[in-house]
Amino acid sequence: MSLQSTPRAERLHIGLYGTRNSGKSSLINALTNQHTALVSEVAGTTTDPVYKSMELFGVGPVVFIDTAGYDDEGELGHQRVGKTKEAARRTDIALLLISEEAEIAKARVWHGAFRKSKTPVLLIVSQCDKKDDGGRALAEAVERELGEKPLCVSAETGMGIAAIRRAVLEKLPEDYDAVSLTGDLVQPGDTVLLVMPQDIQAPKGRLILPQVQTMRDLLDRSCVVLSATTDRLDDALVALKEPPKLIITDSQVFKKVYDKKPAQSRLTSFSVLMAHYKGDISFFAESAKDIDKLPKDAHILIAEACTHNPVDGDIGRIQIPAKLRALLGDGITVDVVSGADFPEDLTPYDLVVHCGACMFNRRYVLSRAEQAKAQGVPMTNYGILLARLAGILDRIELPGKS
Ligand SMILES: Nc1nc2c(ncn2[C@@H]2O[C@H](COP(=O)(O)OP(=O)(O)O)[C@@H](O)[C@H]2O)c(=O)[nH]1
Ligand SMILES: [Mg+2]
Residue-range domain boundaries for the chain: 8-171, 191-273, 280-395
Q: CATH topology of 8-171 equal to that of 191-273? A: yes
The predicted pLDDT at position 1 comes to: 42
The per-residue pLDDT for 172 is 82
pLDDT grade, residue 368 (50/70/90)?
very high
Q: What is the pLDDT of residue 330?
A: 96
**Whose CA is closest to atom 9 on ligand 1?**
23
> 307 or 155: whose pLDDT is higher?
155
Q: Quick check: 238 pLDDT over 50?
A: yes
CA distances from 8 to 51, 194, 305 (A): 9, 25, 13
Start-to-end CA distance of the chain, whole Å, equals 36
Cβ(335) – ligand 1 distance below 6 Å: no
* Residue ID of nearest Cα to ligand 1 atom 13: 23
| Alpha carbon distance 86, 70 (integer Å) | 12
Tell whether the model's pLDDT for residue 264 goes beyond 70. yes
pLDDT of residue 178: 72
Which CATH architecture fits 8-171? 3-Layer(aba) Sandwich (3.40)
- The CATH fold assigned to 191-273 is Rossmann fold (3.40.50)
34: Cβ–Cβ under 8 A, 6 or more apart, which residues? 54
Residue 10: pLDDT over 60: yes
71 lines ligand 1 (CB under 6 A): no
Residue 4 pLDDT: 54
- What's the 116 CA to ligand 1 centre distance in angstroms? 29
pLDDT of the residue at 121 = 96
49 lines ligand 1 (CB under 6 A): no
- The three-class DSSP label of residue 316 is helix
In the predicted model, is pLDDT for residue 68 greater than 60? Answer: yes
* Residue pLDDT, tens place only, 284-336: 999 999 999 999 999 999 999 987 777 777 888 889 999 999 999 999 999 99
pLDDT band at 2 (very low <50, low <70, confident <90, very high): very low
- Given a cut of 80, whether residue 133 has pLDDT beyond it is yes
35 CA to middle of ligand 1, Å? 13
What whole-number distance in Å separates Cα of residue 31 and Cα of residue 25? 10
Contact 283, 379 (CB under 8 A): yes
Q: Residue 374 above 60 pLDDT?
A: yes
Residue 211 CA to ligand 2 center (angstroms) comes to: 37
Q: Is the CB of 46 under 6 A from ligand 1?
A: yes
Mean pLDDT of the chain: 91
Domain 280-395: which topology? Answer: Rossmann fold (3.40.50)
- Please tell me the predicted confidence (pLDDT) of residue 36: 61
pLDDT digits (tens, 9 = 90+) for 49-65: 888 888 887 788 899 99
**pLDDT tens readout for residues 168-226:** 988 886 666 778 899 889 999 999 999 999 876 778 888 989 999 999 999 999 999 99
- pTM assigned to the model: 0.83
**7 Cβ contact list (under 8 Å, min separation 6):** 1, 209, 358
Residue 17 has pLDDT above 60, yes or no: yes
Burial class (CB in 10 A: 0-12, 13-18, 19+), 188: exposed
Ligand 2 centroid, distance to 22 Cα (angstroms): 8
